Structure 1
Amino acid sequence: MLQYSRTRCAECIHGAQCLLAPAAVQGAVAEVALRAGEPLLRQGEPLHQVAVVKVGVVLLRRRVPDAGRQAVAVVGPAQALGLRALLDCGVAAADAQALTPVRACLSQAPAPAIDPRVALAEGVRLAETLAEWAAIARLPRTVARVEAALARLAAASGTREIVLPERAVLAELCACAPETVSRAVTTLLRSGRLQRGPRRGQVRLVETEAAREARSA
């Protein structure tokens, strides 16, 4: 059973900017820890809680009839998910799965004292994020898609050094085959736009126009 309290929220770096800050004052927020690969939300399941990512990044996937699951975005700290719960709209619109170890804050819906205008602004921000990822998948060159996707992932993570996600996940986000992703990553490494990090699977993005645009978005 989740334990709701205000202690951890008072220590959170996101503070008053968080959607759940008013609920935290009333001790109505709980924190949950997820390992990479564990679900936070499942598409089609009833929504009873609003979630805000505190640490780590979350992969959003939608299940499409006759096409399976499709990754549509990656979101990071301070992003609110499950906003439909505030409107009593029933079910989650997408799967939300921890891409890295994640800590998230949850508040039961209807969450007390949350300003509907703030919730609306959070919904708009999420819609903009989804649109930005959709635009990446439409870029004409695969190398540009992969570079832009890695830049967006770095922006969501708040760092230029990231661990490459599974090849299949990156392929879904870039709307191309896994083998094509591998070739694009190799091209970026050879051109110097990516550098290998000290840990296995870690890369560092060299400052490029794509990286700057993703970070400022």
Structure 2
Amino acid sequence: MDLQAILFDKDGTLFGFDESWGAWAGQQLDRLSKGDQGLARRIGAGIGYDLDENRFHPTSPVIAGTVDEATGLMLPFLPDYTHAALRDELDAAAADIEMIAAVDLDACLGQLRARGYALGVATNDSELSARAHLKGAGVIDAFSFIAGYDSGYGAKPAPGQLLAFARAVRVRPEACAMVGDSLHDLRAARAAGMVAVGVLTGPATETELRAHADVVLPTIDGLADWLEQRARL
């Protein structure tokens, strides 16, 4: 079946993961620990973050998880916070981050839209942050659908966000592709009956993604050519 719609993960797919989130996470640990380096390191270890390298370990549960999940991992180290207060604080801080695009998003997304594909974003970040990041990058108008973990459809790897996208753009799931950098993205694609496209702009390796994807591309810049080749088959 020809593909008609493309759903993108955000972090590690549209935006470089460590390039965008690495230094920000270190700043948040410093702020939350009030400069206590021992506490900052303990929190970092709890979320799979290397304070010296300013980057997340590839196996960190935060990479593909929700803000709610990250909050739960950090909360035992921060007894003065409630879960809701810490989550909301992290959400608000995340919305202000300057994201680093993985590719020239205007050119890449413009090419796909010009070929008639409906585009969407499904992220395990909050919808508020997603909209802020896409607006900051100047590409929010490229998307017909934007959902976060808190948008009412659940979070990946469950297929709720993906099926909501298919309904929103009036395309059957099997005519949609889910593009992402993590196993959560690819497993969600399989669960929704969508084509699974992996990209290597996040922490996961090609070997990790290959077994779960229909194709693994270096970046989303390779999508247009791959879609054209696929259509010829």
TM-score over 0.5 for the alignment?
no
Query: Which has the higher relative contact order, 1 or 2, with Cα contacts under 8 A spaced 6 or more apart?
Result: 2
Q: TM-score, normalised by structure 1?
A: 0.34
Q: TM-score, normalised by structure 2?
A: 0.32
Higher strand share: 1
Higher helix share: 2
